[in-house]
Amino acid sequence: MAEKETTKQRGWLNKSEMASSLGISPQAFEKWGVQPIARIGREAFYTVSDVVENRIQHATRKQQPEGALPEGIDPYAEVKLLQERLRLTAAQAYAQEQKNQVQDKLLVPVPFATFALAKIAAKIGSKLETVGKTISRRHPDIEPRILESIEREIALARNIAAQFGDDLPGYLDEYLATMDP
């Protein structure tokens, strides 16, 4: 049986012509893996439609994951991870801003404020304790009932000062409640 001889058809381009028309090198075109439409001698011929189809299939494969995801893998895990990273970054930025404001002495942490005010209240309480004795020493002619009355009032003020540290968290809650719209 005689072999049919193929002749170059209109629209067929050899590898060099096709690569040149695409603006790439013949080696790059060869890596695309486009199947030739025909071979005449050592020359391979390609059609534009085959090249376009090859590129579409390549783009489709690139967009689709390589097979199905294993059981139990969340397809949105990467998106969720990105969201969590953004949330963490925002939280870290907020914390750093708070630290900067504390260092600039524009912001005071509540535990420090509670500690400092409780210490001040304790000093006031200890000073109030000595007021009665100081008045009786400086004014020995004062009547004992007046001195007792003064000491009673001072004891009440001293108790208020002593409880101040315990009451601070309640005051903070009350203040924050007035801030809510």
- Write the DSSP string, 46-114: E-HHHHHHHHHHHHHHHHS-SSPPPTT--TTHHHHHHHHHHHHHHHHHHHHHHHHHHHTTS---HHHHH
pLDDT tens sequence across 46-57: 999 899 999 998
Q: What is the identity of the amino acid at 70?
A: P
Which range (76-85, 131-140, 161-170) has the least confidence?
161-170
Does position 7 have pLDDT exceeding 50, yes or no? yes
Which range (7-21, 63-77, 97-111) has the least confidence?
63-77
* Phi/psi at 39 (5° precision): -125, 135
Helix (H) or strand (E) holding 132: helix 110-138
Q: Where are the domains of the chain?
A: 13-63, 105-179
pLDDT tens sequence across 101-156: 988 988 888 888 888 888 888 888 888 888 888 988 999 898 989 989 988 998 89
